């Protein structure tokens, strides 16, 4: 397969000859071609308007039907309203470029058409090209965000995900299939602004309706890559490249595993794949698609892509620190602590803590309800050591030793602690019963009487205030946060982590957990969230009594209750409820997978136990210190599912000048690892600035301003994590186009230009520092400035030690 650079170059060279004469015949041809596409777009919009009217009619008709009360009519109404609503929503969406592509194809081998109205054959008919090298175009297809058929069911627009659209992405000059010319159409609202063509069979003289096929522009890919960046990612639907298309359309079997260097389009491919899967099998993915992203910044950056592809609702994009409902990671752990919290060794510690925390419990007073761990930390009263009740007119007591024995028995096995409470209650009642001596009263042989006696004993005791208060204090419902707070006590943690963590690790971990405060309300880090999720599983959530639905007198009249126990919930309400309750997904996509720690893999794995997976990542960008351990955890999460591997090899983000510099760090970080090849070059070399008089702030501000003057889009200033707030102050007043980022926050993002501040400082931040620096150096689409301080040991040209040959 030729590189995209070769492709782009061949077309650009071809066009350079014609395009160099502004105002010449080329402009007239371009205008005429824009006019041709405008006509088609007008026709598409006329048809869309008809469809919108149809959908509106369907909605109102469905609403009328709703007044007829038979179950069949109600279900039909729900289904219709749902379908019409989705349709309207999608059509009303103001797509920036609804129609973006066109392919002109040779006649196919067979004359068969697919369900989208296009001919299905991939290979051209034997006689499609005449012996003199001329050919007539046999089929023209327009490609857009959703498919549109005209009133005769002929395709006006093919959905980009339909099989007929695949040649738009797959065709290359080496393997063109039937495609002669691929055209990208740029439009805004209803107006066509431009066209860019790639010729797949330049050797042919092709005609369309008898006239020679014109070729316009520099190629769409280069046009897209050269555009200024904003703070949100754009879709790449008009210029997906062949190797990317293979991943996007890979069958969703088991695990699709994608590796590729920085800028190879992994994130873009992951998002387009989600849209493709939904299109392929909407019913199957009604179970939801989860996209796991490393940071909330990357979530915000990518959030608009799926709606722009016409997909919303069934895809949840969540940062790995936001996967647990009600928990949101806002704090960062220092690398040494992150290493402990992320390690699979934590599993053993958490297992001990989940059970051990029960022994810390004390009376729930002074507050009602759930046990507040914080209070008991300050005044550790411990669990009550004696149970006293009065039953059948007698005082019965259980002492500490027996209580401990009972607790020990109940805790045997691996059942989640909170689910063991009914068993604990039963065993207490058994012990009280045998102490009461009442067993003998039924011994005369009347088993029914004995059972009755026992049952009334249990009822009496269970209703007693002292028994209820005891059980609440002795076996309270534990919360994950409560257990984490309990682990903040170093001595206690040392006990639970014995022979797993060394004393230094225990001290560090306990100190970090004290951030929650005694109330457990302090900020969480991204690694804490995985611990919370694990604890949630270890503790379990006891079943709550179901809210009984209100009695509806109609049920009695119609007998509907038996027929439709969920009649009060419409399909849509049910879908919304399920989405809220959803903890497992039909497909899980993990972006930047190289960064997931073993504990995070466990958390993500729980959300896709029955799912198919797409995992994208780049080991060279891993900020996790033990990639082998993480790989093992990944394999555990993915189980024995077979994997299909893909590799992306072309860097679409960085110009060659920046990619070359980054490759030097890659050679240090991962010797022998190949860099992806950059697809374009700008002629602008990275700039090296050196801090004067120790005034880092002025140097960074000056360089940021310089770049703001040189690019139209965004500028990112990447600093070591502990300088984030400082750097934001340095940049104050420079406007919204510039942002300060900690090295770990830069993951996945991109800017027109970046300032990387003190490579040595970033590299020294953690054991994975060189890989983090590699990430920082690969964020710019146009220009890069490296600011060096003394510790960077810059040479006379300002090049820091780490970036020299
Ligand atoms: N086929 C394409 N057409 C146009 N732009 C593309 C194409 N493929 C990738 N890009 C652009 O290249 C840039 C990098 O893409 P993306 O962020 O998906 O790469 P990545 O592999 O996830 O990078 P990283 O690993 O560094 O985070 C984005 O601006 C994306 O829009």
Q: What is the DSSP string of 306-346?
A: HHHTT--SSEEEEEGGG-STT--EEE---HHHHHHHHSTTH
Q: How far is the CA of 680 from the centre of ligand 1 (A)?
A: 13
Mutate which of 244, 268, 655 for ligand 1 pocket (most atoms within 8 A of beta carbon): 268
Of 625 and 236, more confident: 236
pLDDT value at position 552? 43
Of 92 and 588, more confident: 588
Sheet containing 738-742, strands listed edge to edge, beginning at the edge strand earlier in sequence: 687-690, 780-788, 751-757, 715-719, 738-742
Confidence of residue 64 (pLDDT cuts 50, 70, 90): low
Confidence of residue 66 (pLDDT cuts 50, 70, 90): low
pLDDT one-digit tens code per residue, 95-126? 567 889 999 999 988 777 877 778 888 889 88
Average pLDDT over residues 411-430: 91
To the question of whether residue 264 is assigned a binding role by annotation, the answer is yes
Whether the per-residue pLDDT at 630 is higher than 70: the answer is yes
pLDDT value at position 6? 32
Query: Taking a C-beta distance cutoff of 8 angstroms, is the pair 540, 480 a contact?
Result: no
Same domain as 405, residue 267? no
Strands 524-525 and 329-331, by their bridges, are: parallel
To the question of whether residue 267 is assigned a binding role by annotation, the answer is yes
Q: How far is the CA of 268 from the centre of ligand 1 (A)?
A: 6
State whether the Cα torsion 359-363-368-373 is positive or negative.
negative
Q: What percent of the chain has pLDDT over 90?
A: 49
pLDDT value at position 380? 40
| Shortest-distance Cα residue to atom 1 of ligand 1 | 240
Same domain as 484, residue 470? no
Whether the per-residue pLDDT at 545 is higher than 80: the answer is no
Confidence of residue 507 (pLDDT cuts 50, 70, 90): very high
Query: Taking a C-beta distance cutoff of 8 angstroms, is the pair 753, 715 a contact?
Result: yes
pLDDT value at position 546? 52
Q: Of 309, 305, 310, which Cα lies nearest the Cα of 86?
A: 310
As a whole number of angstroms, the distance between CA 770 and CA 775 comes to 9
Does ligand 1 come within 6 angstroms of the Cβ of 653? yes
Average pLDDT over residues 197-223: 83
- Of 598, 624, 649, the domain-final residue: 649
State whether the Cα torsion 415-418-419-420 is positive or negative.
positive
Is 122 inside any structural domain?
A: yes
pLDDT value at position 439? 62
Of 765 and 228, more confident: 765
As a whole number of angstroms, the distance between CA 779 and CA 266 comes to 14
Confidence of residue 473 (pLDDT cuts 50, 70, 90): confident
pLDDT one-digit tens code per residue, 690-741? 998 889 999 999 999 999 999 999 999 999 999 999 999 999 999 999 999 9
Is 286 inside any structural domain?
A: yes
To the question of whether residue 366 is assigned a binding role by annotation, the answer is no
Whether the per-residue pLDDT at 92 is higher than 80: the answer is no
pTM of the model: 0.80
pLDDT value at position 444? 56
Whether the per-residue pLDDT at 373 is higher than 70: the answer is no
User: In sequence order, which residues have a C-beta less than 8 Å from that of residue 425 and are 6 or more positions away?
Assistant: 462, 471, 475
Confidence of residue 253 (pLDDT cuts 50, 70, 90): confident
Same domain as 701, residue 605? no
Same domain as 133, residue 92? yes
pLDDT value at position 639? 81
- What's the half-sphere exposure (Cβ side, CA atoms, 13 Å) at 549? 9
Query: Taking a C-beta distance cutoff of 8 angstroms, is the pair 634, 615 a contact?
Result: yes
Rg (CA), the chain: 33
Does ligand 1 come within 6 angstroms of the Cβ of 788? no
Confidence of residue 559 (pLDDT cuts 50, 70, 90): very low
The position carrying tokens 């934001």 is: 728
Confidence of residue 549 (pLDDT cuts 50, 70, 90): very low
Whether the per-residue pLDDT at 151 is higher than 80: the answer is yes
To the question of whether residue 341 is assigned a binding role by annotation, the answer is no
pLDDT value at position 565? 34
To the question of whether residue 261 is assigned a binding role by annotation, the answer is yes
Query: Taking a C-beta distance cutoff of 8 angstroms, is the pair 363, 469 a contact?
Result: yes
Confidence of residue 246 (pLDDT cuts 50, 70, 90): very high
Same domain as 310, residue 221? no
pLDDT value at position 122? 83
pLDDT value at position 599? 95
Query: Taking a C-beta distance cutoff of 8 angstroms, is the pair 319, 298 a contact?
Result: yes
Cis peptide before 295 (omega within 30 of 0): no
Same domain as 224, residue 111? yes
Does ligand 1 come within 6 angstroms of the Cβ of 356? no
Average pLDDT over residues 450-460: 87
Same domain as 285, residue 266? yes
Is 508 inside any structural domain?
A: yes
Is 183 inside any structural domain?
A: yes
Q: Can you tell me which atom of ligand 1 is nearest the CA of 652?
A: 12
Number of domains in the chain: 5
ipTM for the whole predicted complex goes beyond 0.90: yes
Same domain as 355, residue 425? no
| Best mean pLDDT range from 6-20, 31-45, 566-580 | 31-45
Is 530 inside any structural domain?
A: yes
Same domain as 422, residue 490? no
Whether the per-residue pLDDT at 366 is higher than 50: the answer is no
Does ligand 1 come within 6 angstroms of the Cβ of 265? yes
Q: Which residues form the domain of 223?
A: 36-248
Same domain as 395, residue 299? no
Average pLDDT over residues 530-549: 79
Q: How far is the CA of 215 from the centre of ligand 1 (A)?
A: 27
Q: How far is the CA of 68 from the centre of ligand 1 (A)?
A: 53
Same domain as 463, residue 498? no
* CATH number, position 680: 3.40.50.300
Average pLDDT over residues 306-333: 85
Average pLDDT over residues 636-641: 83
The position carrying tokens 């088991």 is: 254
Is 138 inside any structural domain?
A: yes
Report the phi/psi class of residue 743: left, alpha or beta, with left for phi > 0 and alpha for psi in -120 to 50: alpha
Same domain as 466, residue 513? no
Is 9 inside any structural domain?
A: no
- Of 197, 220, 248, the domain-final residue: 248
- Of 474, 493, 509, the domain-final residue: 474
Whether the per-residue pLDDT at 600 is higher than 60: the answer is yes
As a whole number of angstroms, the distance between CA 307 and CA 739 comes to 25
Is 385 inside any structural domain?
A: no
Does ligand 1 come within 6 angstroms of the Cβ of 333? no
Q: What percent of the chain has pLDDT over 70?
A: 82
pLDDT one-digit tens code per residue, 654-663? 999 999 999 9
Of 142 and 59, more confident: 142
Q: How far is the CA of 264 from the centre of ligand 1 (A)?
A: 5
Calculate the average pLDDT of the chain: 83
Does ligand 1 come within 6 angstroms of the Cβ of 658? no
As a whole number of angstroms, the distance between CA 187 and CA 165 comes to 19
């Amino acid at each position: 397969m030729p590189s995209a650079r070769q492709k782009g170059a061949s077309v650009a060279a071809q066009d350079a000859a014609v395009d160099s004469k502004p105002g010449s015949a080329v402009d007239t041809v371009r205008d005429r071609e824009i006019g041709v596409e405008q006509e088609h777009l007008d026709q598409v919009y006329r048809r869309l308007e008809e469809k919108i009217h149809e959908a509106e009619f369907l909605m109102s008709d469905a609403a009328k039907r709703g007044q007829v009360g038979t179950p069949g009519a109600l279900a039909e109404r729900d289904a219709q309203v749902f379908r019409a609503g989705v349709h309207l929503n999608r059509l009303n969406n103001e797509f920036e470029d609804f129609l973006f592509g066109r392919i002109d194809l040779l006649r196919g081998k067979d004359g068969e058409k697919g369900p989208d109205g296009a001919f299905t054959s991939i290979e051209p008919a034997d006689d499609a090209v005449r012996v003199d090298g001329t050919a007539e175009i046999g089929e023209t297809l327009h490609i857009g965000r959703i498919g549109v058929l005209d009133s005769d069911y002929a395709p006006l627009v093919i959905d980009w995900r339909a099989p007929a659209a695949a040649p738009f992405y797959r065709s290359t000059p080496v393997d063109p299939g039937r495609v002669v010319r691929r055209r990208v159409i740029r439009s805004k609202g209803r107006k066509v602004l431009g066209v860019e063509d790639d010729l797949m069979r330049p050797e042919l003289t092709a005609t369309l309706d008898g006239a020679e096929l014109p070729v316009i522009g520099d190629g769409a890919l280069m046009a897209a890559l050269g555009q200024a960046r904003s703070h949100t990612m754009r879709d790449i639907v008009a210029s997906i490249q062949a190797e990317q298309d293979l991943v996007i359309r890979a069958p969703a079997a088991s695990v699709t595993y994608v590796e590729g260097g920085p800028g190879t389009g992994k994130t873009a491919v992951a998002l387009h794949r989600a849209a493709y899967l939904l299109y392929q099998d909407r019913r199957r993915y009604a179970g939801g698609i989860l996209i796991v992203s490393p940071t909330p910044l990357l979530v915000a950056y990518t959030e608009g892509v799926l709606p722009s592809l016409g997909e919303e609702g069934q895809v949840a994009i969540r940062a790995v620190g936001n996967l647990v409902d009600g928990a949101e990671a806002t704090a960062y752990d220092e690398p040494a602590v992150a290493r402990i919290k992320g390690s699979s060794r934590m599993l053993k510690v958490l297992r001990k803590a989940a059970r051990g925390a029960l022994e810390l419990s004390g009376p729930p007073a002074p507050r009602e309800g759930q046990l507040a761990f914080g209070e008991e930390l300050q005044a550790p009263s411990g669990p009550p050591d004696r149970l006293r009740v009065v039953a059948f007119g007698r005082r019965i007591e259980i002492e500490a030793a027996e209580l401990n024995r009972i607790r020990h028995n109940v805790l045997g096995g691996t059942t989640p602690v909170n689910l063991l409470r009914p068993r604990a209650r039963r065993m207490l009642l058994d012990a009280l019963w045998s102490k009461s001596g009442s067993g003998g009263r039924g011994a005369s042989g009347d088993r029914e009487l004995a059972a009755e006696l026992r049952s009334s004993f249990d009822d009496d005791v269970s209703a007693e205030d002292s028994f209820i208060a005891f059980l609440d204090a002795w076996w309270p419902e534990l919360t994950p946060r409560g257990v984490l707070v309990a682990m903040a006590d170093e001595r206690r943690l040392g006990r639970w982590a014995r022979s797993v963590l060394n004393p230094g690790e225990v001290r560090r971990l306990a100190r970090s957990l004290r951030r929650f405060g005694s109330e457990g309300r302090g900020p969480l880090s991204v690694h804490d969230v995985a611990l919370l999720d694990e604890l949630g599983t270890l503790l379990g959530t006891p079943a709550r009594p179901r809210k009984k639905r209100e009695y509806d007198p109609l049920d009695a009249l119609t007998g509907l209750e038996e027929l439709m126990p969920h009649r009060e919930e419409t399909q849509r309400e049910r879908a919304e409820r399920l989405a809220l309750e959803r903890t497992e997904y039909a497909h899980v996509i993990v972006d930047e997978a190289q960064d997931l720690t073993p504990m995070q893999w466990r958390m993500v794995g729980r959300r896709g136990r029955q799912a198919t997976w797409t995992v994208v990542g780049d080991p060279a960008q891993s900020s996790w210190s033990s990639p082998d351990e993480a790989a093992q955890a990944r394999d555990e999460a993915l189980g024995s599912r077979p994997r299909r591997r893909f590799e992306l090899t072309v860097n679409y983000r960085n110009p060659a000048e920046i990619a070359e510099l980054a490759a030097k760090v890659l050679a240090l970080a991962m010797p022998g690892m190949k860099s992806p090849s950059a697809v374009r070059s700008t002629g602008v070399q990275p700039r090296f600035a050196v801090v004067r008089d120790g005034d880092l702030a002025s140097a960074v501000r000056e360089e940021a301003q310089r770049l703001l003057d040189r690019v139209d889009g965004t500028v990112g200033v990447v600093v070591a994590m502990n300088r984030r707030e400082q750097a934001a102050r340095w940049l104050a007043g420079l406007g919204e186009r510039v942002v300060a980022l900690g090295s770990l926050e830069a993951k996945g993002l991109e800017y027109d230009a970046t300032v990387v501040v003190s490579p040595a400082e970033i590299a020294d931040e953690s054991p994975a520092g060189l890989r983090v620096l590699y990430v920082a150096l690969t964020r710019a689409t146009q220009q890069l400035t490296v600011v060096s301080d003394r510790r960077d040991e810059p040479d006379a040209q300002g090049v820091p030690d780490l970036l020299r040959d």
